[in-house]
Amino acid sequence: MDGDDDTSGQMIDEIYANGGEETDQRSRRAIMSGDQLDIEAYSALYSGRTKIMRLLFIANSSKNPTVQLDALRMAYDEIKKGENTQLFREVVQKIDGRLGPNYDMDLSWCEAVERKAEQKKERLENELNAYRCPSGALLYIMGYTFDT
């Protein structure tokens, strides 16, 4: 039993990013040292929705209010780079004004993103309908080839 205690004390207490062949300082920065998690270094390993979901997991799992707010702040900033207004509203609700006025609900951003998404949806539906309904000449050619 004493041997097990000695090996547990020798456990690695730092986790590093897997950077492949990169040797720059950023990829060798410790992500976790003891119980402390460097959220910025950890989230830098990911991008897009994966980054947001990992930050939200950290915010929901952490008992430390500072870590929660840091993760929510970074998630807020990352979401604003994309187009997910529903997730944005959820994060703003979790922040609940604790990060100041810069991290409140941005209704103009939400409306602009939703308007842009609706326009894109209409454009794609119109394109799809144009491909579904072949032109009269094409119908004539298809009818001619099937009749013979």
147 token code pair: 């009749």
Residue 74 is predicted with a pLDDT of 95
Q: Which residue has the tokens 């209409």?
A: 122
Number of structural domains, the chain?
2
52 and 74 Cβ atoms separated by less than 8 Å? no
Residue 46 is predicted with a pLDDT of 92
Residue 6 is predicted with a pLDDT of 47
Q: Which domain holds residue 82?
A: 32-105
Of 69, 102, 74, 75, the closest CA to residue 90 belongs to 75
**Judgement on whether residues 128 and 72 belong to the same structural domain of the protein:** no
Of 108, 98, 49, 50, the closest CA to residue 73 belongs to 98
Residue 131 is predicted with a pLDDT of 75
**Judgement on whether residues 36 and 62 belong to the same structural domain of the protein:** yes
**Judgement on whether residues 131 and 121 belong to the same structural domain of the protein:** yes
**Judgement on whether residues 76 and 90 belong to the same structural domain of the protein:** yes
Beta bridge partners of 16: 30
Residue 58 lies in a domain: yes
Q: Which residues of the chain have pLDDT under 50?
A: 1-27, 33-34
Residue 18 lies in a domain: no
pLDDT digits (tens, 9 = 90+) for 59-77: 999 888 999 999 999 999 9
**Judgement on whether residues 62 and 73 belong to the same structural domain of the protein:** yes
Of 73, 77, 114, 64, the closest CA to residue 94 belongs to 73
**Judgement on whether residues 112 and 101 belong to the same structural domain of the protein:** no
**Judgement on whether residues 37 and 92 belong to the same structural domain of the protein:** yes
Strand, coil or helix: what is 101?
helix
**Judgement on whether residues 82 and 111 belong to the same structural domain of the protein:** no
Residue 143 is predicted with a pLDDT of 60
Residue 83 makes CB contacts below 8 A (sequence gap 6+) with: 113, 116, 117
Residue 20 is predicted with a pLDDT of 45
**Judgement on whether residues 128 and 139 belong to the same structural domain of the protein:** yes
79 and 88 Cβ atoms separated by less than 8 Å? yes
Task: Please state the φ and ψ torsions of residue 32, each to the nearest 5 degrees.
Answer: -135, 130
